[in-house]
Amino acid sequence: MKQFEVNFDGLVGPTHNYAGLSFGNVASLNNAKSNSSPKQAAKQGLKKMKALADMGMQQGVLAPQERPDILTLRRLGFTGTDAQVLEKAAKQAPAIFLACCSASSMWTANAATVSPSADTADGRVHFTPANLTNKFHRSLEPEVTGRILKATFADERYFQHHSHLPDNEHFGDEGAANHTRLCSDYGHAGVEMFVFGRYAFDASKPAPKRFPARQTLEACQAIARLHGLSDEGVVYVQQNPHVIDQGVFHNDVIAVGNRNVLFYHEQAFFNTQSALDEIQRKYGDEKLHFIQVDTQDVSVEDAVKTYLFNTQIISLPNDEMAIIAPTECQENPAVSRYLDKLLTLGTPIKQVHFFDVKQSMRNGGGPACLRLRVALTDQEVDAVNPNTLMNDSLFSRLNQWVDKHYRDELTFDDLRDPQLLTESRSALDELTQIMKLGSVYPFQR
């Protein structure tokens, strides 16, 4: 049996904009209110997906969500026609209105936590959508995320879908952005490393002071239980509260792993040595490659600016590992020097490829934020909705679709334009036909 890691990237939605919604995420705050280009954003994402498919990787696509979110605005008491709901919300409650316009579902690393069949008690692939409770705009995602995941991974013989955790800060869950799996090969049982920012029920434990910790230990434990993971296959690691306070709002901004490699910053974790010891012990006899980047080589500030750790580490068909990095890493002298050095260290990482995903980076989303990893056997790949898998024809179809429906530029005031709502809905309606997803959106039900 063959086994793969399939990256499911989020397709950027037609309302992609910069609203400064994410306190604790430096880029989101710094770029608030600048103009965006939904068309460029979607095309940058598609280009990365296609490039990985061309490298011989299995690559999937996850559909965006319906925005502006009229249903939520109605739940909050705005009434009338859809256009009136938009107008009233924009005028009376601009902050709520903006949250309901965000295309944030593009960062599919936050869509769900996924455990491959090799790790779970019932031998199925398990999915739990993230509740994203810490940010209002993101807390609107899990319901439809669940539907999109079910439409993508429909076959119940292979795929098990859970509801998102209770919507409360105690169980704040940000999905795969705080979840890393180490394994000798994708189809072999691995060690699932859950990284959390705080303890929900114990205020005496260390926690950040300036910015919020979005993920709790208790959320991680609930997911491990739901997915039927064994205690010997799980490690819980606390994130260093000081780096959260410097803008590391998810662990994937400071660490990334693939197979037998964990690439992380010296300051990433609270209790690094005991975490690494436990991971190695549970992993077994084969030595893991712990690649630590020291502060003297790359500061936390540069890591946050360039997203050195929000890179994807992928295993190419020839088994070499490659880093998929944003161009910001190439432009920063310290980080670019480090990446040159990394290739000479004799680790499994042998190549670096740079991608321009600036539209997403300006909201704090790098290459790794844009993708949800799903390790699958060839049988499971065959059970995936084939219209969600990237190939030449889907690539050109989706580019045409973007050209037809997306705006080149979106200013802040455009978001209240009822025409944008109509455009977005007709785009998504067509997309559900292209990807054969069924009626996943509220406006279709």
Q: Assess 25 for contact with ligand SUG (CB under 6 A).
A: yes
The tokens describing 163, both together, are: 């509801």
250 catalytic residue (yes or no): yes
Q: Assess 50 for contact with ligand SUG (CB under 6 A).
A: no
* Contacting residue, 15, 22, 58, 388, with ligand SUG by CB under 6 A: 22
Report the distance separating Cα 87 and Cα 359, nearest Å: 27
Q: Assess 138 for contact with ligand SUG (CB under 6 A).
A: yes
Q: Which stretch binds ligand SUG (CB under 6 A): 72-80, 103-111, 201-209, 218-226?
A: 103-111
Quick one: 340 exposed, middle or buried, by C-beta within 10 A (0-12, 13-18, 19+)?
exposed
Q: Assess 102 for contact with ligand SUG (CB under 6 A).
A: yes
Question: Are 138 and 23 contacting, i.e. CB atoms less than 8 angstroms apart?
Answer: no
Which candidate, 126, 103, 123, places its Cα nearest to that of 113? 126
* Contacting residue, 113, 239, 267, 363, with ligand SUG by CB under 6 A: 363
Which one, 150 or 250, has the nearer CB to ligand SUG?
A: 250
SS3 255: strand
Dihedral sign computed on CA atoms, order 379, 380, 385, 391 = negative
Give me the 222-261 binding string for ligand SUG, x by CB under 6 A, dash otherwise. ---------------------------xx-xx--------
SS3 444: helix
Q: Assess 364 for contact with ligand SUG (CB under 6 A).
A: yes
Give me the 308-347 binding string for ligand SUG, x by CB under 6 A, dash otherwise. ----------------------------------------
Report the distance separating Cα 443 and Cα 66, nearest Å: 8
Helix or strand holding residue 397 (H, E): helix 392-405
174 catalytic residue (yes or no): yes
Report the distance separating Cα 166 and Cα 284, nearest Å: 35
Number of helical (H) and strand (E) elements in the chain, helices listed first: 17, 15
Report the distance separating Cα 418 and Cα 103, nearest Å: 17
Least distance (Å) between residue 262 CB and ligand SUG:
17
* Contacting residue, 15, 58, 72, 104, with ligand SUG by CB under 6 A: 104
* Residues designated catalytic: 174, 250, 369
| Chain residues in the site for ligand SUG (CB under 6 A) | 18-22, 25, 28, 102, 104, 107, 109-110, 135, 138, 177, 249-250, 252-253, 363-365, 369
